[in-house]
Structure 1
Amino acid sequence: MSKKVTEVVAELAEPIAAELGLELVDIEYVKEGKNWFLRVFIDSDDGVDIEECGIVSERLSEKLDPLDPIPHNYFLEVSSPGAERPLKKDADFKKAIGKHVHIKTYEPINGEKVFEGTLDAFDGETVTVTVTVKTRKRQVQIPYEKVAGARLAVIFG
């Protein structure tokens, strides 16, 4: 099969989620111990409940079975991405403006590769974050192509 499992699953899951008014956030296909897991993360502005996860799981299974893109046994899990939802697409970054985020970069920017703070702006090319070190705030501009991973971050305390 020329396409990656996650790409095939995304093509099947996207219309299912859209039909239910949900967003397909992410797909993971990973081996943990001796077991394989196909994890599908869905969300909406109002969040998702277990019933919606069950419906997506059922409909996705019906599409996956005849196609059989995975040659071995695996566990299908459909869930919400949780409070620390990943930021994958441009739209995710735009929606997260004003929120607390955690960003890792492929290479150091000003000597650092991990940034946590408030997402101030995103223009498609640059991610602007205000980070606080002790009591000092500073704004960091991160080139979008250097972002290795980003997610919402929960603040404790």
Structure 2
Amino acid sequence: MTPIITPVLAHHGLELDSLDIIPAGKRKVLRITVDGDGPLGRGPLLDDIAAATRDISDELDASPDIGDAPFTLEVSSRGVGKPLTQAKHFRRNTGRLVLAILLDGSQVRGRITDADETRVVVALEPEPGKKLPKDAPTSRELTLDEITKATVQVEMNRKSDPELDELGDDEDADEEEN
């Protein structure tokens, strides 16, 4: 299945993040999760995913590997629930609030301000309702090797910060999620 799907995604500037084939009675559910830089380097747009979905469906319908077997096709972006595991995930989430758990068990909560292939820089933010100590650093650089798990934190009432807002427009990103 991957040899059919991957070239179609590449044509749309997307990459295959995961493919799950789930039996559902007499049918199968093909659940495809995609990722990509998108026009702003922050992930794929819904229009790109929709166009790729139509083309994947056409290719699967024409494939002798699928034949007349009934299936349901689901294509979506990674969404905010999936852990950040690769450098590109951190880069694509610049401007977003993350919680990182480190090898030593400690946690770092902050907004990604920069990321490359080996490290991520976060502007530290306190837990809701708390304050950072006065002598605490305002940012922290982490190597990807020291992060055991990192997830984007959902923000319902984020206050505007012009300096960080320039890094990424969360309003556009929210519209892209399925």
In the alignment, does 2:39 pair up with 1:47? no
In the alignment, does 2:128 pair up with 1:135? no
Once residues 56 and 48 of structure 1 are traced to their aligned partners in structure 2, the CA distance between those partners, rounded to angstroms, is 14
How many residues are matched? 141
Mark the runs of 5 or more structure 1 residues left unpaired by the alignment: 1-7
The match for 2:88 is 91
Kindly report the root-mean-square deviation, in angstroms, between the aligned alpha carbons of the 2 structures. Answer: 4.0
- Shift of the alpha carbon at 1:78? 0.9
Task: Specify the structure having the higher radius of gyration (Cα).
Answer: 2
Which SS does the other structure have where 1:117 is aligned?
A: strand
> Identity of aligned pairs, percent?
19
Which SS does the other structure have where 2:65 is aligned?
A: helix
Aligned residue among 115, 119, 122 for 2:115 = 122
Structure 1 residues 25, 84: closer, same or farther in 2, change over 3 A? farther
- Shift of the alpha carbon at 1:52? 2.3
The match for 1:61 is 60
- Shift of the alpha carbon at 1:66? 1.6
Which SS does the other structure have where 2:79 is aligned?
A: coil
Correspondences of 1:106-117 after superposition (within 5 Å):
107-108=103-104, 111-112=105-106, 114-117=107-110
1:26 maps to amino acid:
D
- Shift of the alpha carbon at 1:119? 0.8
The match for 2:13 is 22
Once residues 54 and 101 of structure 1 are traced to their aligned partners in structure 2, the CA distance between those partners, rounded to angstroms, is 29
Q: TM-score, normalised by structure 1?
A: 0.59
2:140 maps to amino acid:
V
Cα deviation, 1:18-64, whole Å, max 9, x if unaligned, reads 21x33225214376999975422235346114742531440453487
In the alignment, does 2:148 pair up with 1:145? no
Identify the structure with the greater strand proportion.
1
Which SS does the other structure have where 2:46 is aligned?
A: coil
Which SS does the other structure have where 1:66 is aligned?
A: coil
Correspondences of 1:68-87 after superposition (within 5 Å):
76-82=73-79, 87=84
Q: TM-score, normalised by structure 2?
A: 0.54
1:48 maps to amino acid:
L
The match for 2:167 is none
Which SS does the other structure have where 1:22 is aligned?
A: coil
